[in-house]
DNA sequence: TACTCGTGGCT
DNA sequence: TAGCCAAGAGT
């Protein structure tokens, strides 16, 4: 007996799990043969980057580095180059460092222990739970932006979750987690998928939602968002844009790049220098003698 | 806590 | 069109 029959949560679980079985996307990291390293690579790439853009980079990455030790043996700059235009290239550096840590601490195998995962570079609360749940079938609250939104609507009855993750979100997700281990692991991926495909941020497809008859937000008449305004991410003219341009040049060149080539990226001298210094400080760029730069070796 | 950190598709 | 948004982590 997995559920107390008649329990509202049990009904929610059943509806979402049945929907997932019929509607889940076929994604390579969900293949049972994919393995923990493949799951881990996908989770790093999917941090703030949409699935469609991750797919090709993911395939190339695993083809080139099928095991953590393969990546760990290469210079970090190769990880940054292979990261291509996924964005937030520090993730590439962290994935490389995590691969090295896996070789040093765990004999080259992705650990199945939540605490050990959390101790790896670039692995936070979400990613540790995701790897433990998706790759090892463990029972964890896997709380990403999709799950926060689904729970905010279905259980709390508001249009959007809070702007940043809170301890309350985590507690709510733990409360909503099925007791049975295997069911919990399926619920983790299924509730996330529901948020990605149906219970979307902008225009949720409530007409296709398997839990619309149980959704606290829908039952309340789908009231609009009331919270504080979400501040938009500006990008034009930011240091991030400059960093992106500088790094794009360095990715395309395999050797040393003269500073003059980097100077052509951006007019504002002060901002350009600040961005370049930041890249060096982050370990994404290596300064060389004679005013030259390259990806880290 | 609030901020930083890329990139590009979608509405 | 121009925001809005995307499987967050680190500081």
| From A43, A78, A193, A286, active-site residue | A43
Is the pLDDT at A173 greater than 70? The verdict is yes
pLDDT number for residue A4: 52
| Secondary element (H or E) of residue A39 | helix A36-45
| Secondary element (H or E) of residue A59 | helix A51-64
Q: How long is the CA A162 to C1' B1 vector, in angstroms?
A: 14
Q: A182 and A53, same structural domain?
A: no
Is the pLDDT at A3 greater than 60? The verdict is no
- Categorize the per-residue pLDDT at A164 as very low, low, confident or very high, splitting at 50, 70 and 90: very high
Is the pLDDT at A233 greater than 90? The verdict is no
Q: A200 and A181, same structural domain?
A: yes
Encode pLDDT of A221-230 as tens digits.
999 999 888 8
Encode pLDDT of A17-68 as tens digits.
999 999 999 999 999 999 999 999 999 999 999 999 999 999 999 999 999 9
DSSP-assigned letter for residue A47:
T
Is A43 noted as a catalytic residue in this protein? yes
User: Is residue A233 in some structural domain?
Assistant: no
Indicate the range of A5-14, A73-82, A105-114, A158-167 predicted with least confidence.
Answer: A5-14
User: Is residue A57 in some structural domain?
Assistant: yes
Q: A48 and A12, same structural domain?
A: no
DSSP-assigned letter for residue A229:
P
User: Is residue A180 in some structural domain?
Assistant: yes
User: Is residue A228 in some structural domain?
Assistant: no
Q: Quote the mean pLDDT of chain A.
A: 96
The last residue of one of the domains, among A185, A219, A253, is: A219
Instruction: Check which CATH number belongs to the domain holding A276 and give it.
Output: 1.10.10
CA distance A40 to A89: 16
Average pLDDT of span A108-130? 98
**Nearest residue, CA→C1' of B8:** A53
Q: A45 and A127, same structural domain?
A: yes
Q: Helices in A177-238 by DSSP H: which ranges?
A: 181-197, 216-219
Residue A27 Cβ < 7 Å to strand C: yes
Encode pLDDT of A64-113 as tens digits.
999 999 999 999 999 999 999 999 999 999 999 999 999 999 999 999 99
Q: What share of chain A has pLDDT > 70, as a percent?
A: 98
Total domain count, chain A: 3
Q: How long is the CA A50 to C1' C5 vector, in angstroms?
A: 10
pLDDT number for residue A229: 86
Instruction: Check which CATH number belongs to the domain holding A94 and give it.
Output: 1.10.340.30
Residue A286 Cβ < 7 Å to strand C: no
Q: A48 and A122, same structural domain?
A: yes
Residue A163's nearest nucleotide, by CA–C1', is: B2
CB burial string A244-269: b at 16+ within 10 A, e below: bebbeebbeeeeebeeeebeebbeee
Domain assignment of residue A123, given as a range: 36-134
**Per-residue CA distances from A55 to A24, A133, A217 (Å):** 16, 21, 33
User: Is residue A178 in some structural domain?
Assistant: yes
Instruction: Check which CATH number belongs to the domain holding A169 and give it.
Output: 1.10.1670.10
User: Is residue A226 in some structural domain?
Assistant: no
User: Is residue A45 in some structural domain?
Assistant: yes
Is the pLDDT at A153 greater than 80? The verdict is yes
pLDDT number for residue A1: 39
Residue A143's nearest nucleotide, by CA–C1', is: C7
Is the pLDDT at A6 greater than 90? The verdict is no
User: Is residue A168 in some structural domain?
Assistant: yes
Q: A129 and A65, same structural domain?
A: yes
Q: A41 and A19, same structural domain?
A: no
Q: A125 and A71, same structural domain?
A: yes
Is the pLDDT at A7 greater than 90? The verdict is no
DSSP-assigned letter for residue A196:
H
Q: A16 and A158, same structural domain?
A: yes
> How many residues would you count in chain A?
297
């Amino acid at each position: 007996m997995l559920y107390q029959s008649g329990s509202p949560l049990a009904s929610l679980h059943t509806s979402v799990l049945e929907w997932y079985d019929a509607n889940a996307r076929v994604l390579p990291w969900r293949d049972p043969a994919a393995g923990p390293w493949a799951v881990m690579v996908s989770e790093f790439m999917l941090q703030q980057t949409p699935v469609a853009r991750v797919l090709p980079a993911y395939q190339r990455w695993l083809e080139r580095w099928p095991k953590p030790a393969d990546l760990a043996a290469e210079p970090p700059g190769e990880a940054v180059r292979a990261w291509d235009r996924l964005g937030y290239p520090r993730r590439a550096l962290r994935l490389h460092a995590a691969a090295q840590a896996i070789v040093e601490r765990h004999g080259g195998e992705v650990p199945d222990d939540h605490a050990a995962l959390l101790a790896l570079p670039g692995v936070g609360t979400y990613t540790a739970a995701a790897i433990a749940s998706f790759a090892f079938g463990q029972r964890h609250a896997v709380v990403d932006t999709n799950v926060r939104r689904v729970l905010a609507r279905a259980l709390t009855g508001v249009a959007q979750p809070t702007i940043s993750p809170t301890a309350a979100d985590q507690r709510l997700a733990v409360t909503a987690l099925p007791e049975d281990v295997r069911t919990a692991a399926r619920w983790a991926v299924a509730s996330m998928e529901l948020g990605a495909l149906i219970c979307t941020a902008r225009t949720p497809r409530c007409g296709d939602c398997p839990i619309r008859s149980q959704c606290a937000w829908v039952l309340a008449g789908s009231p609009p968002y009331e919270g504080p305004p979400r501040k938009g991410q500006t990008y034009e003219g930011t240091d991030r844009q400059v960093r992106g341009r500088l790094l794009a040049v360095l990715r395309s060149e395999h050797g040393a790049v003269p500073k003059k080539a980097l100077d052509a990226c951006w007019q504002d001298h002060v901002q350009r220098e600040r961005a370049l210094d930041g890249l060096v400080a982050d370990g994404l760029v290596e300064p060389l003698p004679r005013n030259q730069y390259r990806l880290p070796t």
